[in-house]
Amino acid sequence: MKIRYLLLHAYGQGGTIRTVINQANAMVALGHEVEIASAVRRRDKPQFPIDPRVTLVPLADQRAGVPVDSLGRKLWRRMRGKIVPFGEFAADYFTERVERAVIDYVSRLEGGILVTTRPALNLIAARRTPKSVICVAQDHMNVGAYPETITRDIARYYGRFDAVVVLTTKNQIEYRILLPDTPIVRIPNALHGSGPVSKQVNPVVVAAGRLVKQKGFDLLIPAFQQAARRHPDWRLRVYGGGPRKAELTALIAELGLQDRVQLMGRTDRLEEKLAGASIYALSSRFEGLPMVMIEAMGQGLPIAAFDCPTGPADVLTSGKDGLLVPPGDVAGLADALDQLMSDKALRMRMGAAARRTAANYHADSVMPLWEDLFAELLSREPILDSYWTR
């Protein structure tokens, strides 16, 4: 099969980038012809390893700087309209040059499969890709997280896709309501490889993600403060970079936690950091499928998490391999952390169950679902009923 993946920034960092690159690497290892197109390029080398057999195609090279539209051009585009709607989380990336580069790329394709990976790219592909190409849209978030400007265009254009692939059952149900005549397929992201297992010896709570509002670290820090009053030896370490670092640093100082909470920055050794902790905390306001949480489960960490839309409840069973509390409930998250901090035997038991749960997301279980879907779409046969129940 000829499979093309279209990413916003294949040279950057982030969960979607890592997941799609892993998927491309797995597909080329299975003998398929694979290409990754990157809408923009802002670094010399990708941050995640790409199999040398995968062709990497940058569409708009911005290493020398990011050219922006002039005020006049922006006003003209607003009057004329553009494919990428206002409200797309990455809308600022899509200057006229970038949008045009992506349109040109998808318009010239012939045959094979195109997989697009975020609303802006999905909408361009839905409107401009030739019919000879099998088009598959991935949603790495969840439809309920998008503003109305996005969901309106999703409802209008996603019906042109041969299939829409989502990560969770809840998102599958929501998409079926929005797009009743389009195949909505649930295929979770896959774990690739397995890291060392936590020995539950270090009194460390770990969290990871971009320092943005979505990840809810402003809620996790006060929750940790409440839990840590009874556990003076425990520490919280947060891995990731982002625009809210100064705000979170100020919050840590305000709560007097400078010696107990650390913003660790980005790391390329996250597996090692997870294995060195004893609890993983997920404080997100919303998610798609929280892959770092699943990786932590694979390394034997019990989870304390908000039951946010979507993902955590699709993966873990509260009381078995982790503890779920209502979304945004800081006191509830504090209680969950306190319960896990207080009981090593509980952590060991939940950590072992978490490893068994994470095994369902290993690549050897997930990648055949993609191969089967692509093969059926290429044959132009109807999607099997079994896909509709996954």
Model confidence pLDDT, tens digit, residues 145-188 = 898 989 999 999 999 999 999 999 999 999 999 999 999 999 99
With a pLDDT cut of 90, the percent of the chain lying above it is: 79
| Three-class DSSP category at 4 | strand
Q: What is the pLDDT of residue 387?
A: 39
CA-CA-CA-CA dihedral for 156, 161, 162, 165, to nearest 10:
-100
User: Taking residues 206-219, what's their average pLDDT?
Assistant: 96
Cα–Cα–Cα angle for 294, 183, 375, nearest 5°?
A: 80
Residue 123: its pLDDT value, please? 95
Average predicted confidence (pLDDT) for the chain:
92
- List pLDDT tens digits, range 36-76: 999 999 999 999 999 999 999 999 999 998 887 777 766 65
User: Which band of pLDDT confidence, cut at 50, 70 and 90, is reported for residue 390?
Assistant: very low
CATH architecture type of domain 204-361:
3-Layer(aba) Sandwich (3.40)
pLDDT digits (tens, 9 = 90+) for 87-102: 788 888 888 899 999 9
Residue, of 195 and 57, whose pLDDT is higher: 57
With cut-offs at 50, 70 and 90, classify the pLDDT of residue 86: confident
Given its phi and psi angles, is residue 146 left (phi above 0), alpha (psi -120 to 50 degrees) or beta? beta
CATH topology agreement for domains 2-191+362-388 and 204-361: yes
The confidence band for 247, taking pLDDT boundaries of 50, 70 and 90, is very high
For 112, 202, 239, 344, 346, the CA distances from 349, given in Å and listed in that order, are: 47, 16, 25, 9, 5
Percent above pLDDT 70 for the chain = 94
What backbone phi and psi angles, to 5 degrees, belong to 95?
-65, 170
**pLDDT per residue over 300-349, tens digit each?**
999 999 999 888 999 999 999 999 999 999 999 999 999 999 999 999 99
Cα 352 from Cα 300, distance rounded (Å): 6
Q: Please tell me the distance from the alpha carbon of residue 218 to that of residue 357, in angstroms, as a whole number.
A: 28
What is the spatial distance between Cα 231 and Cα 379, in angstroms, rounded to a whole number? 59
13-29 tens-digit pLDDT? 888 999 999 999 999 99
Q: Tell me the C-alpha distance between 38 and 61, whole Å.
A: 9
Residue 386: is its pLDDT beyond 80? Answer: no
Question: Which pair of tokens denotes residue 328?
Answer: 């945004």
Domain boundaries, given as residue ranges, for the chain: 2-191+362-388, 204-361
For domain 2-191+362-388, say whether CATH 3.40.50.2000 is its number.
Answer: yes
pTM to 2 decimal places: 0.83
